[in-house]
Amino acid sequence: MASRIVTRTAVGASIQTSRGLGLKHNIQDFTTLNQAINERTIVANLPEPITSGMEVLPAYDYQTDSDLLSSQYLCIGNGGHKVIVGGNTNGTGGANPSPNPNVGTSTNAIPFTIPVEHMATDTGLYNMIPFLGRPVSKGLSISERRDYGLRRTIMLNGELWEFYFARKLKRDRLTPTINITHVVDGESSTSEFVPTINNLKPVHPTEDTSYNGSYASVTVPVEVVWNEKQIQDIRDACRVLYGTENVAIISEISICSGVEKPITQKYPNSGPQTPVNVATNTFFEAVACQVVMHITTYIPINFSEREYKLEMDFGATEPLYGVKAG
C-alpha cells in the first residue's frame, strides 16, 4: 500500500491549543460537518422542507461543551484519489522499459490511481459517503444508533431515507505510548521512553550536540474494523444514493472531534413541521463535528468480502533536540 498522506487541520490545531490552555473553543461558520450535510450543494436530494424526518438536539455551547470535545468520530469519502490514464504505473509518463512494446505506451496505457491530499484549511471532505442508509420507516434501533452519527434524511424516488455519515471510534482500550527514536550514523533504533530522575534535572547538551534526525513520538494505535455486514451496508448505501456500488471506495478518511448530545425532539416525515418530543436519553447525535485530521488511503469496499481492517496511528512526533524558532 502506498504511504498515506496525513493532514492535520487548522481547526484541529485550534481545538488542541484551546484545550491545552484551558480556553473555550468557539465554532466558526462553515467548519462543521453538521453544516455540510445540510448544504444542498454538498448533499443532493435533501427533502423539502429540509427538516422532514430530522431530529432536534441541544446546540453546541462553547461555554459548557468545550471541555467535552474529543476526537471520537470517523467519516469517509471517495474523493481522495484521481485516476491517471497514460504513461506507466510509476506516474512519470515515460516509456516503460519492459520488452513488451505495448506496456506503458500511449496506445495501451494502464489507468492507475494517485492520492489527492487535503489542505490544512479543508473543513470538509472532497466527497463524503455514508456508512449506511435505511428507509426512515425502517430506521436503526437504539443499539445500532450508538455506533453512528451525522444522520441526514434524503428523499429518493418519493421515499424518505436516513443516511449516517459518521461512525463512532472505539476508544475504550486505547493507551498512548511515548517512544524515543535515536539516529546514529543513519541507523535508527526505537525504544519506549521511561522517565528517570535525570529527566527532572536535565544538564546542558555538549557543544557538539546537534539535531541528527532523532525524535520523540507519542503513538496510539487505532484499529477500525468493517465486518461483512458493515461492508455490505456501505455498498448498499452507495447503490441507493448514487446508483452503483462501484463508487463504494474509501480514499479519504477524516478523524473528527465533537460532542455527543441526546435527541430531544423529532420532526414529522412529511406535512407541517412541528417537532414532537421523544423519550429522553434514547438516541444521541454528534454536535460540533469538526475534522481534525485528513488521511488519504485507497480501499475498494466493493471488492471486500468478509472483513476489512484499517490500522492507523494517532499521536505526534517532535525532534528530540528541538528546532530553532525564528
Q: What is the pLDDT of residues 21-55, one digit of tens each?
A: 999 999 999 999 999 999 999 999 999 999 999 99
Kindly indicate the confidence band of residue 326, based on its pLDDT and cuts at 50, 70 and 90.
low
Task: Count the neighbouring beta carbons within 10 Å of the beta carbon of residue 80.
Answer: 27
- Tell me if 183 sits within 8 A of 321, measured CB to CB: no
Instruction: Judge whether 215 lies within some domain.
Output: no
Residues 6+ apart with CB under 8 A from 266: 53, 54, 55, 56, 275, 276, 278
What pLDDT is recorded for position 92? 44
Whether the per-residue pLDDT at 103 is higher than 70: the answer is no
Burial class (CB in 10 A: 0-12, 13-18, 19+), 40: exposed
Q: Provide the CB-side half-sphere exposure for 276 (13 A, CA).
A: 7
In the chain, what percentage of residues exceed pLDDT 90? 72
pTM confidence score:
0.89
Is residue 212's pLDDT more than 70? yes
Q: Is residue 322 part of a domain?
A: no
- Tell whether 50 is covered by a domain: yes
Q: Would 213 be classed as within a structural domain?
A: no
pLDDT of residue 204: 86
Cis before residue 49, ω within 30 degrees of 0?
yes
* 114 has pLDDT over 80: yes
The set of cell numbers assigned to 14 is: 485550534
pLDDT single digits (tens) 146-181: 999 999 999 999 999 999 999 999 988 889 999 999
Q: Reduced to 3 states, what is the DSSP secondary structure of residue 215?
A: strand
Which residue range is the domain that position 41 belongs to?
A: 6-90+105-174+223-304
The distance from CA 143 to its chain's CA centroid, rounded to whole angstroms, is: 23
Q: Report the domain count for the chain.
A: 1
In a domain, 311, yes or no: no
Per-residue pLDDT, averaged over 119-135, amounts to 98
What does the buried/exposed string (b/e) look like for 188-214 if buried means 16 or more CB atoms within 10 Å of the residue's CB?
eeeeeeeeeeeeeeeeeeeeeeeeeee
3-state DSSP call for residue 54? coil
Is residue 154, in this structure, part of any structural domain at all? Answer: yes
Residue 324 lies in a domain: no
The answer to whether 265 and 277 are in contact (CB under 8 A) is yes
State which amino acid sits at residue 297. Answer: T
Taking only Cα atoms into account, the Rg of the chain, rounded to an integer number of angstroms, comes to 24
- With contact defined as beta carbons under 8 Å apart, do 120 and 10 qualify? yes
Q: Which of 225, 233, 223, 224 is nearest to 302 (CA)?
A: 233
Q: Looking at the domain assignment, is residue 124 inside a domain?
A: yes
Residues in a beta bridge with 153? 162
> What's phi and psi for 209, nearest 5 deg?
-75, 130
pLDDT for the residue numbered 108: 55
Closest CA to 34 of 145, 150, 122, 123: 150
